[in-house]
Chain A
Amino acid sequence: MFSSCADPKSLEGISWLLCYLTSGKHIDFYWSFLTVFVLLAVTAPAALLFGFGGAMAARSHVAPLRWLGKIYTAMVRGVPDIVFFLFFVIALDQGIEWMTHKIVCPDWTEPIRQGLEFRVCPEAKVPPGDAPQFWHQLYGFALAVFTFAIVFGAFAANVLYGAMNAVPRAQLETAEAYGMTHGQVFRRVLVPQMWTYALPGLSNLWLILVKATPLLFLLGVKDIVYWARELGGSKTQAYAYPHPDWRLWYFLFLLVAYLCMTRVSEIVLARIAKRLNHGQATAAGEAMRRAAQ
């Protein structure tokens, strides 16, 4: 990075540390924070969408759809979430390859599962075997994001389902009395009102999501945990910057970074709650009205 860092062995003290912390691998480490933020930015709306779909399905009048919705919302309750993380990443990968296999090579006669192997025709590999490393990483990341969205969608579906049921029945009946159709009641009355009931659950979910991001490491993505382990491990004299085992300090840094992230989230969410509770016929809204008087 700096020209003075050309010969790290000759450096000492602060200048050594400065050069060390701006070495190429450390820049990669700092960039991997971006991975976490991208994951959060993509997963949060996607999970909300999945959750919305799940909650709508669970309220559906069509029985099979309702069962599907109920199973989706119930699945995260009894089973640890990392089981789903580990499961979906492989299952999705195999599912995608199996489908492309069916489309691309219909003449393939050998069985796909041969003993301990999962073998599709070479054209059906996703991404293609000769693709550059970047595409493999991107594909892995996309799978991880999708997995996160499925699992957190189930959590969000729980919250939204509860929120939809919490909207006072009288509001919906009034809307019906005005002659609105089911769809209109849903769009114009239920959905705008449910957010204030959903917010506590959704804020909780956001904090959980923030705290679940290190699990990206388990899904094989080079995230901050990967780099902290990589950089923190003891380095011999063969390396440019030899040092003993510093993983403790790297993980301490990650811990503090996460504490900052959750703290900032809490402050922002408290503001949103204040805004949404304004003028609502709930305990929180009533407290705000009293305080304003």
Chain B
Amino acid sequence: MAAPSTSQTARPGSDFFLRFRRSRNAMIGSVIVAFVVLMALFGPLLTPHDPVKVNVLASWRAPDSTHWMGTDALGRDVFSRIVLGGRVSLIVSMSVLAVTLTIGTVLGMCAAYFGGWVDALVMRTVDIIFAFPELIFAILVAAVLGPGTLTVIIALSMVWWPGIARLTRSLVLGLRHEMFIEAAIVSGTPAHKIMRRHFLPNIVAPLIVRASIGVGFIIMAEATLSFLGIGIQEPEPTWGAMIRDGLSQLRTDPHLALFASLALGITMIGFNLLGDGLRDVLDPKVRN
């Protein structure tokens, strides 16, 4: 076989960082995301307060030099809780991503590769879940399972995997009749090997884009469930629940709702900018 025409195909990722640095969205987004991740990892070192320690004598303190963002109804330090809330958000979204990427790509690849009843079964299931508005389906699952961290992870995974499966299926269908796939099939390569060695590496980029856009949605959905009271429960701090608690106190002690909203808003902007940026950089369709 003739050598493929050199420089462009030789190192497909070579200009990734160049394009990434040139994308304003991607840069601003990754700075914000890096800040959020660092705060979630090391933030607790910055504050001497225990985020779950109740001190009713110190309830609803305004921000000062000891409590940078004040205290809540139970006298807990808001800054510590916001930092820990970020950690909870990230843990939940990473768990949901891990679950949905696994289930979604495996089912999507099987549907596309085997076709027939496997395809029908997977895709009809996807269609049924898509028939519900996303968050309402998550609320349905959360209502049945009862509140809790595990519930949130399960509910959001159930909402998010169909999108991954559908995307994977269409990507694999696009590759199905490529020469190197046909060659692998006729040379008797087993199905699981074809999927892992040949399909997966070729669909990673769009899946990364999808996942990075997904983080924003998952953080938002987790916060919404917790805000409605059917998500993660006390004493675990979550931004959604903090905003709910703060809203009722907005007239006299606005700091809780405002700081928690700020944390959630900035994080969402960061992940969305990063997702948009990655899409611009990785998606060949919008590349000029």
A binds B: no
